[in-house]
């Protein structure tokens, strides 16, 4: 079992421990449960869907990296596929707070990067902040996305974000988690650059058209990619580096051992992710950072 789950494990009921052990007992547990695994966990633990996601929250929060606030937030996103995806907040010492990742952004981006096409609900251990309510309003689930919190009735995003401003107020556009392929090409055989290009091609940037992707390689050679997720209100947009750091954290729980990083974006785009990407990676101790453009 990954070390980050050790402390919280004893607080899980024995039945749920038994149900989760076949998956969470492995060091390569990907911080998600497939629909089939969810059914097995429900059967063994005796929990229903709602009770299970609430019970998983402390485990998701154990994935939090919060050196500044020490405030550990966990989220569980449920896909239309039935899969459950963990999410947790991430903070980065040495760079502006704007680089922070919230738990809802983490769970949603995690689901997106694993190929989920639509979300039906999100469960969080604290009420979603205004920033996250706006971020979630970019999803193709719309305001009907169910939002669950401990000891609260089931509400939807529409309840948390009345009089909403969103993508529908702007251009007719694909929404977050819709399938897109922007078709950019680069002539290279470099695996990491191609991974970042693929992420850029599946990024969500309907307002600026500034498609961007990041690929990170760890000391073991594993690659983690992140796509830019633009928001109709601009500021809640999630940069591609943050998406890649989310994926890396969820996959292996170590955001600090990045050996090489590549940003791919348009040479003549309206905006560039380069300065923020470079400064945050430098703060994380990664010195081999490259920018490639299409
Ligand atoms: Zn938030």
Identify the CATH number of the domain in which residue 241 sits: 3.40.140.10
Backbone Cα Rg of the chain = 18
Query: What is the tally of structural domains in the chain?
Result: 2
pLDDT of the chain, 294 residues: tens digit per residue:
999 999 999 999 999 999 999 999 999 999 999 999 999 999 999 999 999 999 999 999 999 999 999 999 999 999 999 999 999 999 999 999 999 999 999 999 999 999 999 999 999 999 999 999 999 999 999 999 999 999 999 999 999 999 999 998 887 789 999 999 999 999 999 999 999 999 999 999 999 999 999 999 999 899 999 999 999 999 999 999 999 999 999 998 765 689 999 999 999 999 999 999 999 999 999 999 999 999
Catalytic residue among 11, 18, 39, 104: 104
Q: What is residue 116's predicted lDDT score, i.e. its pLDDT?
A: 98
Å from CA of 45 to ligand 1 middle: 30
Q: What is residue 257's predicted lDDT score, i.e. its pLDDT?
A: 87
**Whether residue 118 is found in the same domain as residue 195:** no
**Whether residue 40 is found in the same domain as residue 147:** yes
Q: Which residues surround ligand 1, an ion (CB under 5 A)?
A: 102, 129, 131-132
**Whether residue 87 is found in the same domain as residue 143:** yes
CA dihedral 64, 66, 70, 75 (to 10 degrees): -30
> Is 19 contained in some domain?
no
Give the C-alpha separation, 279 to 22, whole Å.
Answer: 40
**Whether residue 245 is found in the same domain as residue 209:** yes
Nearest to 32 by CA among 59, 9, 55, 1: 59
Residue 76's CB: how many other CB atoms inside 10 A?
27
Phi/psi at 191 (5° precision): -60, -40
Q: What is residue 133's predicted lDDT score, i.e. its pLDDT?
A: 98
Å from CA of 246 to ligand 1 middle: 15
Domain end among 136, 168, 200: 168
> Is 131 contained in some domain?
yes
* Cβ-contact 263, 196 below 8 angstroms: yes
Residue 91 in marked binding region? yes
Phi/psi at 155 (5° precision): -125, 170
Residue 129 in marked binding region? yes
Å from CA of 190 to ligand 1 middle: 36
**Whether residue 67 is found in the same domain as residue 111:** yes
**Whether residue 70 is found in the same domain as residue 114:** yes
Å from CA of 130 to ligand 1 middle: 7
The count of residues in the chain is 294
Residue 104 annotated to the active site: yes
Residues 6+ apart with CB under 8 A from 54: 123, 148, 150
> Is 17 contained in some domain?
no
Q: What is residue 255's predicted lDDT score, i.e. its pLDDT?
A: 53
Residue 116 in marked binding region? no
Residue 102 in marked binding region? yes
> Is 40 contained in some domain?
yes
Q: What is residue 256's predicted lDDT score, i.e. its pLDDT?
A: 60
DSSP symbol at 5: G
For 148, the 3-state DSSP assignment is strand
**Whether residue 131 is found in the same domain as residue 230:** no
**Whether residue 137 is found in the same domain as residue 201:** no
Q: What is residue 222's predicted lDDT score, i.e. its pLDDT?
A: 94
* Cβ-contact 40, 20 below 8 angstroms: no
Nearest to 122 by CA among 148, 101, 103, 140: 148
| Residue span of the structural domain in which 75 resides | 29-168
Q: What is residue 124's predicted lDDT score, i.e. its pLDDT?
A: 97
């Amino acid at each position: 079992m990954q070390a980050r789950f050790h402390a919280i494990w004893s607080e899980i009921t024995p039945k749920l421990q038994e149900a989760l052990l076949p998956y969470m007992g492995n060091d390569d547990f990907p911080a998600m449960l497939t629909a089939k695994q969810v059914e097995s966990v429900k059967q063994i633990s005796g929990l229903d869907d709602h009770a299970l996601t609430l019970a998983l929250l402390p485990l998701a929060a154990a994935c939090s990296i919060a050196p500044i606030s020490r405030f550990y937030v966990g989220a569980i996103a449920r896909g239309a596929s039935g899969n459950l995806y963990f999410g947790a907040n991430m903070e980065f010492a040495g760079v502006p707070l704007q680089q922070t990742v919230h738990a809802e952004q983490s769970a949603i981006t995690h689901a997106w990067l694993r190929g989920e096409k639509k979300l039906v609900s999100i469960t969080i251990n604290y009420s979603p902040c205004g920033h996250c309510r706006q971020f979630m309003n970019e999803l193709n689930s719309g305001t009907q996305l169910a939002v669950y919190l401990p000891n609260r009735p089931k509400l939807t995003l529409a309840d948390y974000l009345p009089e909403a401003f969103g993508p529908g107020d702007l251009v007719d556009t694909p929404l977050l988690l819709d399938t897109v392929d922007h078709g950019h090409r680069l002539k290279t055989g470099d695996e990491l650059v191609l991974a970042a290009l693929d992420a850029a091609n599946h990024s969500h940037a309907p307002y600026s058209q500034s498609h961007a992707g990041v690929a990170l390689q760890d000391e073991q050679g594993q690659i983690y990619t992140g796509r830019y997720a633009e928001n109709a209100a601009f500021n809640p947009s999630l940069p591609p580096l943050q998406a890649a750091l989310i994926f890396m954290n969820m996959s292996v729980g170590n955001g600090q051992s990045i050996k090489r990083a590549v940003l791919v974006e348009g040479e003549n785009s309206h905006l560039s992710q380069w300065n923020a990407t470079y400064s945050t990676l430098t703060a994380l101790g990664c010195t081999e950072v490259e920018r490639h453009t299409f």
